[in-house]
Chains A and B, each alone.
Chain A
Amino acid sequence: MAAITFDGVTKIFAGKPAVDSLSLHIDDGEFMVLVGPSGCGKTTALRMLAGLEEITTGRLLIGDQVVNNVLPKDRDVAMVFQNYALYPHMSVAQNMGFALKIRGESKDVIRSKVSDAAEILRLTDYLDRRPRALSGGQRQRVAMGRAIVRSPQAFLMDEPLSNLDAKLRVEMRLEIARIQRLLGVATLYVTHDQVEAMTMGDRVAVMRDGQLQQVARPQDLYDRPANDFVAGFIGSPPMNLLRAGVARDGDVTLSIAGQSVTLPERLASPYHLANGEVTFGIRPEDIVVGATGLRARVERCEALGAETLVHLSLNAKGASQHLVAKAGPRTTIVAGDDLAVTFALEHAHFFDVTSGATLRVGS
């Protein structure tokens, strides 16, 4: 087992950087989730670590060894593919034992390790089956089994849950996290699903357009996003990002869609807020629908059972901005209602309009 270090790693495809100067350290035993939208470079980063893509510049280390020019077979990493990549002509046991067979382990050792892994993954009854005779969840577990029998230096997982239905995905999310903690192997897990990122990772790295945006523990990522992209990407539904005018005179007055909100000095002081414009961020759960506050019209309600998402339009003096609030499960709010909303400003965020970076002091 070993730590993993991306040190200024860049990958250029057709003249354009797919991964741009990625620097990321994954501690031994740590579960790191790499998350971002499609095309952000997360899978390319994973494939470079696996040795399936060459590195254009930078250094990639597993433990203390630079592995830029080390073949995949010599890196001692195990990978779980999005489509599982199970060998269709081999049984479950043969799939799981293939790497050990290639390594020249004896049949007894292979049988023993496969049996142990099958027990952890609850696959003992399926060892003689071919992959096509298994359900999606079972195939996923075989792919996991193939990785864990090797006791590798690191686990690499490329969206391994994306082919499963919602219920199974929740189960396997817990299962993978459990196994990873049981084995204590450094893991890089790639996903575009921020729920997986938040629930599984010890830390989460957010990528966009090949560049790393922020690395932090899930709750820190949620509470203190480094920029408006992370703020909008992490959280479901995402943070509301509204254009706001700032007028500073002791307290700060925010002008949102032509309406004014006063931000007390004690809440404004953690931010560099100067007269001008900012991006004001507020999460749906930090919006309170009541009798007083900013005037808003309900455009649509989405009842999710446990809660209701209320889509609102802040509208005054010709300016209009859209935001989403959370209401209770049995709310009486309906589309077309005119309401008033207030913000829990102690949880508000402010970002630079141009760069998108947080205006939090010290960030």
Chain B
Amino acid sequence: MKARRLTLSQRRQLAGVVFALPALALVIGLIGVPIGQAVYYSFTQWDGITTTWIGPSTWSQAFHNSDLWTALKNNAALLIWVPVALGLPLAIAVLLHQRVAGWKIFRSIYFLPTAISWVVLGLVAERFFAYQGTLNSIIHAIGLSGVTTNMLGNESTALSALGITFVFTMIGTNTMLFLTGLATLDPSLEEAARIDGAGRWRIFRHITLPHLSRFIQLAFVMTVIALFSALFSLIFVMTGGGPGYATTTMEFLIYQTGFSQGQFGTAALYGLILFAITGVVGIVQLRLIGSDL
């Protein structure tokens, strides 16, 4: 009996499934299973060795924990640095795009932080903001000794120092992203606008900025996600989450809860909350990129 032959369309679908299987297995194994485990452990008390099922009360208890709210509040406070982390690279990119003298050297300099480990950047920033660090030396040198401050040692200023360092770390990536966007801008559009009577600001406002909107959206989402999920190394080397909880963000709280206090179940729960926050940002990103502007 002759075997039934698959149609071309069915064979293509089958090939698609076969090729997707290895990637699917990796995604399930490396992402799906840990997420499932985290969900399970969030309902338990787990010290790393023994697991005790508690149930949904772990979630209600967690939301009564002031440390969680402090961490969320710190994350929210750091959001004010996002416009700076976008605006500064945008300004730099626009200037570099004008092909100012030495623009290639400047481009490399601005990209340098991206190529350096955030641990190293954190150490440099720690030395910069320290009481006897570079910042205060500069303030002394220009005769403003009265305003010297221990930014990292002060609860009211430590988070700002962290935010400034974060902006510094993001400058390279976002500048490159905006430069890429500017490179795709048809120069004749700017020329047309010049002939239409527009000056530099109006060209930027009406031509350049709308063209960059997709790139700005992407940079925004990447920056927010980095803010929520990539600050650990900076915090670890600069402040250790302190003074007090002044610079403890969600991801640092997860580390402290799990590895310092041995409450891995609670840490898993915090991890899920952070996952939900970054998930929402990610979905917004997909919507924006997929949308027809």
Which A residues fall within an 8 A CB radius of B? 50-52, 71-73, 75, 77-79, 81-83, 85, 87-89, 98-99, 102-103, 146, 150
How many inter-chain residue pairs (CB < 8 Å) link A and B? 60
Distance between Cα atoms of A71 and B192 in the complex (Å): 13
Name B's A-contacting residues (CB within 8 A). 186, 188-189, 191-199, 202, 206-207, 210-211, 213, 293
Q: Is the beta-carbon distance between B195 and A51 smaller than 8 angstroms?
A: yes
The main secondary structure of chain B at its interface with chain A is helix
A103 with B194: CB separation less than 8 A: no
B41 shortest CB reach to chain A, Å: 48
Residue of A nearest to B209 (CB): A89
Q: Which residues of B contact A75 (CB under 8 A)?
A: 195
Determine if B188 and A102 form an interchain contact, defined as CB atoms under 8 angstroms apart: no
Contact call B192/A81, Cβ cutoff below 8 A = yes
Cβ contact within 8 Å between B195 and A72: yes
Contact A87 B189 (CB under 8 A): yes
| Pair B210/A77 contact, Cβ less than 8 Å | no
Q: B233 to chain A: closest CB distance in Å?
A: 39
Q: In the complex, what's the smallest C-beta–C-beta distance from A151 to chain B, in angstroms?
A: 13
Q: Given A87-B207, A89-B211, A98-B206, are A103 and B197 neighbors across the interface (CB < 8 Å)?
A: yes
Q: Using CB atoms, name the residue of chain B closest to A102.
A: B197
Distance of A50 Cα from B211 Cα, bound (Å): 24
A126 CB, min distance to chain B CBs, angstroms: 19
Q: Are B191 and A52 in contact (CB under 8 A)?
A: yes
Given A50-B195, A87-B210, A99-B196, 14 additional A-B pairs, CB 8 A? A50-B191, A51-B194, A51-B195, A73-B197, A73-B199, A75-B195, A81-B191, A87-B193, A89-B210, A89-B293, A98-B196, A102-B197, A102-B202, A103-B197
Give the docked Cα–Cα distance between A87 and B193 (Å).
9
A-B contacts, 19 listed (Cβ < 8 Å): A73-B197, A73-B198, A78-B195, A79-B191, A79-B192, A81-B191, A81-B192, A85-B191, A87-B193, A87-B206, A89-B210, A89-B211, A98-B196, A98-B206, A99-B196, A99-B197, A103-B197, A146-B196, A150-B196
Smallest CB separation, A357 vs chain B (Å): 38
Q: Is the CB of B193 within 8 A of A52?
A: no
Smallest CB separation, B210 vs chain A (Å): 4
What are the residues of chain B within 8 A of A51 when measuring CB–CB? 194-195
Find chain A residues with CB under 8 A from B293 CB.
89
> What 9 A-B pairs come out closest when comparing CB atoms?
A99-B196, A85-B192, A85-B188, A89-B210, A73-B197, A102-B197, A72-B194, A72-B195, A79-B195
Q: Which residue of A lies closest to B196 (CB)?
A: A99
User: If the complex has contacts A87-B207, A89-B210, A89-B211, are A102 and B196 also in contact, measured as CB distance less than 8 A?
Assistant: yes
Nearest CB of chain A from residue B144's CB, rounded to whole Å: 43
Q: For the complex, what is the distance from the CA of A99 to the CA of B293, rounded to whole Å?
A: 23
Residue in B194, B197, B206 with the greatest tally of chain A CB atoms within 10 Å: B197
Complexed CA–CA distance, A99 and B203 (Å) = 12
The smallest beta-carbon distance between B292 and chain A, in angstroms, is 10
Q: Provide the residues of chain A in CB contact with B197, threshold 8 Å.
A: 73, 99, 102-103
Knowing A87-B207, A89-B210, A98-B193, say if A81 contacts B198 (CB, 8 Å).
no
Report chain B residues within 8 Å CB of A79: 191-192, 195
The interface residues of chain B lying within 8 Å CB-to-CB of A88 are: 189, 211
Contacts of A87 in B (CB 8 A): 189, 192-193, 206-207, 210
